[in-house]
Amino acid sequence: MRCRRWRLCLLILPALWIKVCRHRAFALTPHKAAAPGSGTYAGQSLKAGDAAWEGLQLNLTTDRVFSQRDLQREVEDSMASRLLARDAFDRVMVTVHGRSTYQSILDGVDPPRLMAARREMLSFLPSGPLRVLEVGVGVETWASNLPLYPPGVSLVGLDPEVSADATWPKKPRGLDFQAVRGWAEALPFADNSFDAVVASLVLCSVREPDTALREIARVLKPGGRYLFLEHIRAPTGSALRWQQEVLHPLHAFCCNGCRLTRQQDRSILRAHSEQLFTAVPVLKHYLCHGDWPCTTQIVGYAVA
């Protein structure tokens, strides 16, 4: 029976690979940035300094202009499409293999090693009472950071898969916790709302990492901290880098849109160079053996 299951997998996977490659090539085509300080809206030419430009406060791209609501709608549509595809694939794998692909991959991660990295990330939280936002908090048993928060934290957990009937079995009894459905690229909070923002293994999955970082910087209070834990692309010329390039389309399809080939460390440093963050005191690179193909990882924090 097991041989039959694996033969069926071998028949299904090549067809899915072709479909996924085509799908990702279309869905992940990045928008070209508009010329800084200029753009068009409703046929009207706008320039930086114009009252209309300043009043709109829009995120401009070459052919499209997004308001906050437009961006949230696009991210939501993209997420819905992604989850639909993932769920369809998971139903096949549950039938063939007895469990979903995403669950199987997560079960293969070394929990002590990953939890040690999470503890190191949360050790960068300032002391004292804090209002903290965790972007991509996860739902059900995925919310791995919840038991690690220190006392005195008021936590808001944001995730696109939060629902009214979601449960949080890992939440400690004393933790002040509120769950909110939302997306990293369009955070539903006012400016300067949080003392710290936590995001672990998030930038690999969001559609627009630079937009997500701008949103994180926006909701942080001056001097607030952005705590991060991410896996990154392996060095050029390494065997792991080649493996990541080959596996990238299927991995993104099966693992909630997670991209193996992104360079989150560069994105964070670029955000610093653009003065979204005043400093990046800690950005530590390390190898997390056993988490293949996400072996190269970073942990640290930036200051708003």
pLDDT in tens, 130-185: 999 999 998 776 788 999 999 889 999 999 888 877 778 888 888 999 999 999 99
Phi, psi (degrees; rounded to nearest 5) at 153: -95, 130
Q: Write b or e for each residue in 64-98: b if 16 or more Cβ atoms lie within 10 A of its Cβ, otherwise e.
A: ebbeeeebbebbeebbeebeebbeebbebbeeebe
Element (H, E) at 49: none
Query: 204: buried, middle or exposed (CB in 10 Å: 19+, 13-18, 0-12)?
Result: buried
Question: Which pLDDT tens digit goes with each residue over 63-100?
Answer: 334 455 565 555 555 555 555 655 665 565 556 555 55
In the predicted structure, residue 5 carries a pLDDT above the cut 60: no
Indicate if the alpha-carbon torsion angle 107, 110, 111, 115 is positive or negative. negative
Range 258-261, long-range pairs (CB < 8 A, 24+ positions): 258/201, 258/204, 258/205, 259/28, 259/204, 259/205, 260/204, 260/231, 260/233, 260/293, 260/294, 261/233
95 vs 144: CA distance, rounded Å = 27
Element (H, E) at 204: none
CATH classification of 109-303, choosing from 3.40.50.150, 3.90.105.10, 3.40.50.10540, 3.30.310.220?
Answer: 3.40.50.150
Residue with tokens 């949230």: 72
pTM beyond cutoff 0.75: no
Question: Which pLDDT tens digit goes with each residue over 15-46?
Answer: 444 444 444 433 333 333 333 333 333 334 44
Question: Which pLDDT tens digit goes with each residue over 95-145?
Answer: 655 555 555 555 545 457 778 899 999 999 999 899 999 999 987 767 889
**What DSSP designation does 149 have?**
P
Q: Domain residue spans in the chain?
A: 2-104, 109-303
